[in-house]
């Protein structure tokens, strides 16, 4: 597609009259409407404003690129507008904007249009083109400038491709020893900034004598996908993105993680950091691998799961460290020094201190995932209010944060507090978005903390705590008075859930439920069920690969040995590669074995007063032999089902 088919002369504004950001958006959107590019002026304008609220599209150097992709757009178009006086557009460099490129993409834009939009965005990195555009007087001149720039770029890329092909044919001794880095660029709409950042990084790397490969996560999908070999040989990784991208693959590499606009404006700084290995080494978490395909524009369910997992991942160190130290203190109390020994007092207090932070940290980081840093404080306070009924702290003060509540709101109330604080912060941002620019600095330092805390405290005091304290009491009473039959059924369900997706939403839901019950009742019965259920899949894999080695590849047999250690440590994710390769057999057998193990822990009255650890915490269990027996029986059943079901001919030889 000729780039001039997007830069329509009829929708150009060579003398923009607007003097403010709002007026500029109104004028350009109206121009689109009267020329039939969009059929719903208000709907398209809302999308433009929503994009501006995420981060300004005034990228600096006198350029702004407002853009939106929705069903109001009738055809892919780029509106060029020039303001001689300049417009205060909240640009990143604080300077007035003179050149506007408003990009409109239809909801179902085809690849040709998207590629043309990407090419157009990349051209705006060229300072010579920008300088000439500022002097252009007619729409014809604007079109010709872009056509010439596109032709020059294509000629340069052809020359570069030819040089790279010749270099690839050269002997190894003659090949370049230049530094090599990899990068990923992505913006929420994937139209403009994604490709501008790509172009800026490539251009800057060339000037610095650095080889670079840039993966783009744009509207046309992932382009120039980074391979495992690319990542392995790179000195460092640059992620210039405003939406979620696949991160687990960069585990162990120095990684520079910045907003996409930094890829455009600070490309030299990013490349220097990556080349010299000055960036911190990235370590992938379990949630990275389970949700790395999600984007910021994903479904409501995936977004809620992502926010919840952000809270849980930050909470887990407090749960694990505090829970295990408390459990050790009980062992000392029972078998060694008694309740007055210094060892018991020290360990019990340390564990309790960590546990006291558990729900506030959970709520705080759920809120932070939703509303960014301003949501952290009201989230922490909301989580703290969910844990406290009435108590004194260090003798300094006494707090009673309840009204019409008989107990604390607990774990469930903490989760509610996190989501409330996050969305409250988003609401406050919108309410304060119309304040004068001179008051911008007051928002994070004064307005968000005061109003966030005030409203959050009111919600917790009068609504959340009274409601969730009742719910928490009902759940606690049910768990305390649950008969053996009901306990076995619940153990079967929780154990099976641990194996359905092995670290995914079902697994985490079961684990969170058990942790919530543990914190509410100090009873580790359900922790035993989820722990046993989570250990079975890796153990079953290890057993099947050991007994039926001919039904597995060499790599699978090696991984099977590793799963003995992973299973022992309650790391279910060791079974994921096997489940990916053969989901029906691996998941089905794992769920059966895990459900049986979970049910057996309840039948044998096993309680594990520690929220993690696998077999390492066996001495803490109330029935250690029952705990081991439950896991062994579940493992044997799952391993035998998998081994017998899997066919030898399916293994690659």
Residue-by-residue DSSP string for 551-568:
GS-HHHHHHHHHHHHHHH
Among residues 67, 113, 193, 612, the one annotated as catalytic is 67
3-150 and 180-282 share one CATH topology? no
Tell me the CATH architecture of domain 180-282: 3-Layer(aba) Sandwich (3.40)
Tokens 């966030």 belong to which residue? 452
Banded pLDDT at 351 (limits 50, 70, 90): confident
| Mean pLDDT (whole number) for 596-607 | 92
How far from 456 is each of 362, 462, 472, CA to CA, in Å?
A: 16, 10, 20
Residue 116: the pLDDT is 58
Evaluate if residue 487 carries a pLDDT over 60. yes
Helix (H, G, I), strand (E, B) or coil at 599: helix
Pairing of strands 211-218, 221-223: antiparallel
Residue 652: the pLDDT is 42
440 vs 204: which has the higher pLDDT: 204
What kind and span of H or E run contains 428? helix 410-431
Banded pLDDT at 278 (limits 50, 70, 90): confident
| Mean pLDDT (whole number) for 308-320 | 76
What tokens appear for 153 in the block? 């770029």
Residue 291: the pLDDT is 40
pTM: 0.48
Residue 455: the pLDDT is 94
Evaluate if residue 195 carries a pLDDT over 90. no
Banded pLDDT at 379 (limits 50, 70, 90): very high
Residue 513: the pLDDT is 79
| Residue 113 a catalytic site member | no
Paired residues of 180 in beta bridges? 211
Backbone angles phi, psi at 61, to 5 degrees: 60, 30
Residue 108: the pLDDT is 61
| Residue 187 a catalytic site member | yes
CA 79 to CA 8: how far, in whole Å?
7
Q: Specify the fold of 3-150.
A: Mannitol-specific EII; Chain A (3.40.930)
Percentage of residues of the chain with pLDDT beyond 70: 80
- Cα radius of gyration rounded to whole Å, the chain: 29
Residue-by-residue DSSP string for 444-510:
IIIIHHHHHHHHHHHHIIIIIHHHHHHHHHHHHHHHHT--HHHHHHHHHHHHHHHHHSSSSHHHHHH
Tokens 């960069």 belong to which residue? 250
Residue 442: the pLDDT is 78
Nearest by Cα to 623 from 533, 539, 536, 528: 528
Tokens 């922790």 belong to which residue? 527
Sign for the CA dihedral angle at 268, 274, 279, 283 comes to positive
- Domain range summary for the chain, segments of one domain joined by +: 3-150, 180-282, 300-474, 484-645
Among residues 30, 98, 113, 187, the one annotated as catalytic is 187
| Mean pLDDT (whole number) for 349-374 | 85
Pairing of strands 67-70, 211-218: unpaired
Banded pLDDT at 313 (limits 50, 70, 90): confident
Pairing of strands 97-106, 77-87: antiparallel
Strand residue runs (E) in 136-210: 180-186
Evaluate if residue 98 carries a pLDDT over 80. yes
Residue 595: the pLDDT is 94
Task: Quick: pLDDT tens for 384-440.
Answer: 888 765 444 444 444 555 555 455 677 778 889 999 999 999 999 888 877 776 676
296 vs 49: which has the higher pLDDT: 49
Evaluate if residue 106 carries a pLDDT over 50. yes
Residue 90: the pLDDT is 85
Percentage of residues of the chain with pLDDT beyond 90: 23
| Mean pLDDT (whole number) for 109-130 | 66
Sign for the CA dihedral angle at 172, 175, 177, 179 comes to negative
Banded pLDDT at 149 (limits 50, 70, 90): confident
Task: Quick: pLDDT tens for 238-268.
Answer: 998 877 778 888 888 899 988 887 888 788 9
Residues 385, 462: contact at Cβ < 8 Å?
no
Worst-scoring range by mean pLDDT, 13-17, 196-200, 207-211, 433-437? 433-437
């Amino acid at each position: 597609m000729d780039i001039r088919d997007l830069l329509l002369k009829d929708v150009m504004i060579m003398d923009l009259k607007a003097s403010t950001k709002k007026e500029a958006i109104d004028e350009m959107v109206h121009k689109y409407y009267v020329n039939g590019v969009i059929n719903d002026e208000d709907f398209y304008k809302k999308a433009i404003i929503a994009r501006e609220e995420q981060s300004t599209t005034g990228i600096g150097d006198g350029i702004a690129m407002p853009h939106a992709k929705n069903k109001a757009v009738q055809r892919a178009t780029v509106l060029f507008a020039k303001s001689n006086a300049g417009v205060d557009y909240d640009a990143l460099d604080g300077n007035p904007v003179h050149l506007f490129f408003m990009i409109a993409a239809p909801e179902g834009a085809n690849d040709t249009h998207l590629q043309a939009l990407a090419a157009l965005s990349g051209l705006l990195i060229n300072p010579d083109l920008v300088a000439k555009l500022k002097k252009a007087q007619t729409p014809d001149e604007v079109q010709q400038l872009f056509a010439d720039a596109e032709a020059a770029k294509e000629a340069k890329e052809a020359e570069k491709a030819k040089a790279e092909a010749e270099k690839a044919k050269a002997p190894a001794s003659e090949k370049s020893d230049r530094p090599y880095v990899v990068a990923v660029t992505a913006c929420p709409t994937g139209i403009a900034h994604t490709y501008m950042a790509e172009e800026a990084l490539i251009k800057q790397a060339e000037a610095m004598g650095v080889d670079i490969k840039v993966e783009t996560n744009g509207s046309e999908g992932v382009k120039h996908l980074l391979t495992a070999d690319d990542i392995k040989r790179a000195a460092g990784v640059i992620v210039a993105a405003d939406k979620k991208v696949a991160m687990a693959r960069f585990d162990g590499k120095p990684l520079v993680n910045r907003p996409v606009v930094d890829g455009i404006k600070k490309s030299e700084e990013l490349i220097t950091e990556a080349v010299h290995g000055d960036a911190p080494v990235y370590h992938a978490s379990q949630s990275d691998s389970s949700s790395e395909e999600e984007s910021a524009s994903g479904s409501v369910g995936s977004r809620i799961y992502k926010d919840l997992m952000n809270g849980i991942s930050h909470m887990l160190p407090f749960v694990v460290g505090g829970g295990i130290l408390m459990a050790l203190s009980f062992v000392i109390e029972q078998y060694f020094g008694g309740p007055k020994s210094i060892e018991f007092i020290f360990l019990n207090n340390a564990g309790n201190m960590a546990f006291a932070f558990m729900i506030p940290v959970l709520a705080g980081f759920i809120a932070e995932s939703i509303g960014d840093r301003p949501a952290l404080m009201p989230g922490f306070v909301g989580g703290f209010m969910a844990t406290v009924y009435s108590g004194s702290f260090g003798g300094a003060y006494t707090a009673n944060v309840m009204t019409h509540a008989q107990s604390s709101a607990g774990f469930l109330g903490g989760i509610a507090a996190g989501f409330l604080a996050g969305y409250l912060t988003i609401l406050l941002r919108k309410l304060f978005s119309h304040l004068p620019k001179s008051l911008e600095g007051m928002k994070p330092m004064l307005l968000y903390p005061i109003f966030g805390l005030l409203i959050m405290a009111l919600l917790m005091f009068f609504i959340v705590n009274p409601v969730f304290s009742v719910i928490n009491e009902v759940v606690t009473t049910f768990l305390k008075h649950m008969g053996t039959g009901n306990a076995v059924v619940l153990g079967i369900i929780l154990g099976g859930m641990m194996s359905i997706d092995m670290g995914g939403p079902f697994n985490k839901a079961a684990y969170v439920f058990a942790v919530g019950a543990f914190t509410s009742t100090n009873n580790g019965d359900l922790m035993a069920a989820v722990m046993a259920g989570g250990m079975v899949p890796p153990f079953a894999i290890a057993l099947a690969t050991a007994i039926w080695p001919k039904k597995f590849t060499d790599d699978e047999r090696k991984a099977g040995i590793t799963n003995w250690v992973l299973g022992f440590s309650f790391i279910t994710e060791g079974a994921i590669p096997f489940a990916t390769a053969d989901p029906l057999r691996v998941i089905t057998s794992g769920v059966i074995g895990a459900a049986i193990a979970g049910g057996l822990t309840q039948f044998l009255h096993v309680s594990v007063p520690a929220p993690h650890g696998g077999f390492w915490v066996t001495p803490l269990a109330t029935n250690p032999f029952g705990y081991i027996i439950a896991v062994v029986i579940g493992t044997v059943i799952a391993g035998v089902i998998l081994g017998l079901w899997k066919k030898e001919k399916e293994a690659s030889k």
